[in-house]
Amino acid sequence: MQISIIICTYQTNRYPDFAEAINSLLAQNYDNTELIVVVDGNAELYAKIKTEYKSIDKIILNDKNLGLSESRNRGIKEANGDVVAFFDDDAVAADNWLEEIARMYSDKGAIAAGGKLVPKWVSKEPKILPEEYYWLIGATHKGFPEVVTEVRNTFGSNISFNADVLKALGGFKSEMGVKGTGLLQGEETELCARMREKFGKGVIYNPAAIVYHKVFPERLRLRFLLKRAFWQGYSKRMMKEQGYSITEESEFVRTLIFRSIPDRLKPSWTKLLQLVFLSILTLTTASGYILRSLEFRRHSQ
């Protein structure tokens, strides 16, 4: 079984992180791979990668910045593997990552598979950021399953699909996902929801398939976290408008109310600060959802 790995990049100043990501993919225990890099509208970066990484199978340059979803779709068109996996340019894969992903297809009959995203702190780990909200920093959050099981979706640095299934779905929707300074989110979630609707199956999650996702200091700033939370709520409302279920999000909110909040009602400053932060992030996410709901109602009238 050949696995095509697609990694998209566009920032020249992130080249050292990109290089670490690529080196981790080249060091995989699983050998039957095809590595595809899509450079999103940066000719200088494209030339540098072409010069320094002859071992990359395909390097593609977008003429202009198309955004993450369209860049991934370009990679899908070039992929020859039986499975197509997605990876980010600020992530580092454990040596057995692809081996564990491949096992889900051979042993579990997966049509899509993903694994655990562990935060790789570039600066000091924040004590007041609730683990329930680690999805804001691109990591697997508290409450996610701890055993191999089917879920609706995993996240963009650690997700893969049967190639035929992915092509039957038509890839990612271009209106979803990060583009330039836009923060619309949920491209993987929307694709996986569409997959479940069409094929009746979700993603097989394997917590042993580990990818370390870098968390830079700027991603821990309050403004960044609030923007991410707001746009996550906004994006999930868009998914609902498209007819997809958001029962996982509803269950997440119930868990916050009945488990996460009571767990932090303890005589501890750290727990209290986490509770305050958790409440702020929840309200911010809800505000994004509500704003999109109002916009939709106004446009429907």
HSE of 76 in the Cβ direction (CA atoms, 13 Å)? 21
CB count within 10 Å of CB 125 equals 9
Burial of residue 149 (CB within 10 Å: 0-12, 13-18, 19+) is middle
Take residue 175 and report the two structure tokens written for it: 């209106």
Burial class (CB in 10 A: 0-12, 13-18, 19+), 121: middle
Lowest mean pLDDT among 51-65, 114-128, 176-190, 276-290: 176-190
Tokens (6 digits) for 280:
């702020």
The yes-or-no verdict on residue 164 having pLDDT over 80 is yes
Judged by average pLDDT, the poorest of 61-75, 210-224, 232-246 is 232-246
Residue type, 163: A
Question: What is the Cα–Cα distance from 189 to 72, expressed in whole angstroms?
Answer: 15
Mean pLDDT of 28-53: 97
How many other CB atoms are there within 10 angstroms of residue 301's CB atom? 5
| Helical (H) or strand (E) element with 74 | helix 68-78
CB 255, CB 145: distance < 8 Å: no
What's the mean pLDDT in 65-92? 96
Whole-structure pTM value: 0.91
The highest-level CATH class for domain 3-219 is: alpha beta
The Cα 107–Cα 74 span in angstroms is 30
For residue 78, is pLDDT > 80? yes
Q: Give the torsion through C-alpha atoms of 194, 200, 206, 211, to 10 deg.
A: -10
Q: How far is it, in rounded angstroms, from Cα 67 to Cα 9?
A: 10
